[in-house]
């Protein structure tokens, strides 16, 4: 299921620049102008000591201006001629076929004999015989089997351009674990937001096993999947601005799927690009949760106010995720990916996968496989990595990265095993570091005690 980890279309127009402290995300804005990826996000340019700089709109999905060069100052007057040109540009940068056309093409494709089933690798498109001549100079695969059509994430090239796309795909181990966990927890509907491999595993089992009752709806910005799934199975969706490319019909498809008819419990599983802006993602996920609440029928009782959710993300984003979802907690399970050199299961030390599951479910409900080195901590009432030893002083299993952490009496918390307390810095840090670095405080207002991301001078969605 596609980690897209830093997956696909990037994540937040100006993520890299924001990390340098030059930009801040203000979020979706009513009446925002559009680029081919839907409504743009509103940013503000900040400079040291000033509360706020000039605001501008930029693409929500692409981090590199080479991939989507949309830019507009918020207070800029745009001429009618330029607006018309922009609309024309947006139309010309939409997919060649509509979702409905792709569904019809698929029906014709599966009727072809195996010898006539071709897939263009350059265009990433299923080809009908009448289209062969247009693709003569392209590389293509022949004899596309039914099994290949049921596993499109393996047929399609992963989008791995690190500046724009980073479409990493769950390894079978992690995918199977997630599915088994969802079934054991009693969920029968899975809203798969950017997790195509989990979606296809559910679809495949549903077509092969009569008693398999789990259903999935894939929301993904990768429109190539519309070639393999119907409108009830896939919605073209941008998770950075909560935009349904299919309009109200697609939004209604999602809303109906979230309606828990016949007691079929629903859960949202999402694996966003790791380079994406957490603020933008959280805003979209809250809007999906609001859609779930809209489906609540009179008299129905929900044990929690949020739709159950698994947010798969690196552990070092824990504080940012908890800022937006205080009810979430991080599990120790290490999610690994097929096509990522570092995020592989079985590596040790700092080479272990940093990707974890954040969830609003009760931690004790999440059973992790003991054969993979997880154990149950009776004090914390949750499964933890075998190297994550309980600290009696912190009264918690404190490790985040799978290694055994150590408690620092001076810092009054557990720290990484490679860190040592520096009396000059008055905190634990790496042994080889520079003590001369002086904390100049917040980049925006210059005050000490907080970072730019939490500066009260900036409004956040």
For 431-447, give the DSSP string.
SS--TT------TTT--
Examine the pLDDT at 370 and tell me if it is beyond 80: yes
Angle at Cα 389 formed by Cα 386 and Cα 394, nearest 5°? 150
In the prediction, which pLDDT does 7 show? 39
Q: Which residue has the higher pLDDT, 453 or 294?
A: 294
Contact 265, 257 (CB under 8 A): no
Q: Which fold has domain 172-294+304-386?
A: Rossmann fold (3.40.50)
Q: Round to whole Å and give the CA distance between 307 and 34.
A: 29
Examine the pLDDT at 172 and tell me if it is beyond 80: yes
Please name the helix (run of DSSP H) or strand (run of DSSP E) that holds residue 169, with its range, or none: none
Q: Round to whole Å and give the CA distance between 371 and 66.
A: 46
Dig out the tokens for 37 from the structure.
Answer: 């990826």
In the prediction, which pLDDT does 12 show? 37
Mean pLDDT computed over 335-354: 63
Dig out the tokens for 75 from the structure.
Answer: 């207070």
In the prediction, which pLDDT does 16 show? 38
The conformation of residue 67, written as its DSSP 8-state character, comes to T
Contact 124, 157 (CB under 8 A): yes
Task: Give this prediction's pTM.
Answer: 0.84
pLDDT, one tens digit per residue, over 218-241 is 999 999 999 999 999 999 999 999
Max CA distance (Å), the chain? 74
pLDDT, one tens digit per residue, over 106-130 is 999 999 999 999 999 999 999 999 9
pLDDT, one tens digit per residue, over 403-454 is 889 999 889 999 998 898 998 888 999 888 888 654 545 554 555 545 555 5
pLDDT, one tens digit per residue, over 309-328 is 999 999 999 999 999 999 99
Give the mean pLDDT of the chain: 83
Instruction: Select from 354, 308, 359, 307 the least CA-distant residue to 329.
Output: 359
In the prediction, which pLDDT does 431 show? 82
Instruction: Select from 17, 276, 70 the least CA-distant residue to 164.
Output: 276
461 Cβ contact list (under 8 Å, min separation 6):
25, 26, 27, 28, 279, 283
Indicate the SS3 state at residue 19: helix
- State the DSSP string of 391-440: ETTTTEE--SSSSPPEEETTTTEEE-TTEEEETTTTEEEESS--TT----
Mean pLDDT computed over 23-31: 82
pLDDT, one tens digit per residue, over 49-74 is 566 678 999 999 887 777 888 999 99
pLDDT, one tens digit per residue, over 261-273 is 777 899 999 999 8
Indicate the SS3 state at residue 202: helix
Confidence of residue 20 (pLDDT cuts 50, 70, 90): very low
Q: Round to whole Å and give the CA distance between 455 and 460.
A: 9
73 Cβ contact list (under 8 Å, min separation 6):
54, 55, 56, 57
Where are the domains positioned within the chain? 21-93, 99-144, 172-294+304-386
In the prediction, which pLDDT does 407 show? 93
Q: Counting Cβ atoms within 10 Å, is residue 319 exposed (0-12), middle (13-18) or buried (19+)? A: exposed
Confidence of residue 299 (pLDDT cuts 50, 70, 90): very low
Other beta carbons within 10 angstroms of residue 294's beta carbon come to 10
């Amino acid at each position: 299921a596609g980690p897209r980890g830093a997956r696909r279309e990037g994540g937040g127009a100006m993520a890299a620049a924001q990390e340098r402290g030059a930009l801040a995300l203000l979020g979706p804005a009513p009446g925002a102008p559009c680029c081919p990826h839907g409504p743009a996000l509103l940013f503000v340019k900040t400079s040291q000591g000033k509360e706020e700089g000039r605001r501008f709109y930029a693409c929500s999905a692409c981090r590199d201006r080479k991939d989507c060069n949309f830019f507009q100052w918020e207070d800029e007057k745009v001429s009618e001629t330029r607006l018309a040109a922009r609309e024309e540009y947006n139309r010309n940068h939409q997919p060649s076929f509509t979702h409905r056309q792709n569904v019809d093409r698929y029906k014709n494709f599966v009727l072809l004999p195996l010898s006539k089933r071709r897939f263009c690798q350059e265009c990433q498109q299923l080809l009908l015989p009448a289209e062969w001549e247009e693709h003569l100079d392209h590389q293509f695969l022949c004899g596309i089997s039914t099994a290949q059509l049921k596993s499109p994430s393996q047929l399609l090239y992963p989008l791995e351009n690190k500046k724009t796309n980073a479409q990493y795909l769950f390894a079978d181990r992690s995918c199977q674990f997630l599915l088994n966990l969802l079934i054991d927890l009693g969920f029968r509907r899975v809203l798969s937001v950017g997790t195509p491999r989990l979606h296809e595993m559910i679809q495949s089992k549903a077509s092969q096993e009569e008693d398999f009752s789990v259903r999935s709806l894939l929301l993904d910005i990768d429109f190539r999947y519309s070639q393999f799934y119907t409108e009830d199975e896939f919605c073209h969706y941008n998770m950075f601005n909560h935009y349904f490319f299919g309009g109200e019909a697609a939004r209604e498809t999602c809303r109906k799927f979230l309606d828990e008819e016949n007691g079929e419990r629903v859960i949202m599983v999402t694996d966003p690009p790791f380079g994406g802006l957490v603020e933008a993602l959280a805003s979209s996920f809250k809007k999906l949760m609001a859609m779930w609440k809209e489906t609540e029928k009179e008299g129905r009782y929900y044990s929690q106010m949020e739709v159950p959710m698994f947010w798969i993300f690196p552990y070092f984003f824990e504080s940012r995720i908890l800022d937006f979802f205080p009810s979430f907690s991080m599990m120790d399970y290490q999610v690994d990916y097929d096509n990522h050199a570092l995020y592989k299961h079985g590596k040790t030390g700092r080479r272990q996968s940093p990707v974890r599951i954040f969830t609003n479910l009760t931690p004790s409900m999440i059973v992790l496989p003991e054969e993979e080195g997880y154990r149950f901590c009776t004090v914390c009432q949750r499964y933890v990595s075998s190297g994550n030893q309980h600290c009696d002083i912190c009264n918690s299993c404190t490790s985040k990265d799978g290694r055994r952490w150590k408690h620092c009496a001076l810092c009054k918390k557990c720290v990484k095993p490679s860190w040592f307390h520096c009396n000059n810095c008055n905190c634990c840090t790496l042994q080889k570091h520079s003590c001369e670095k002086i904390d100049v405080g917040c980049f925006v207002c210059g005050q000490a005690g907080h970072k730019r991301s939490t500066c009260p001078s900036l409004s956040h969605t």
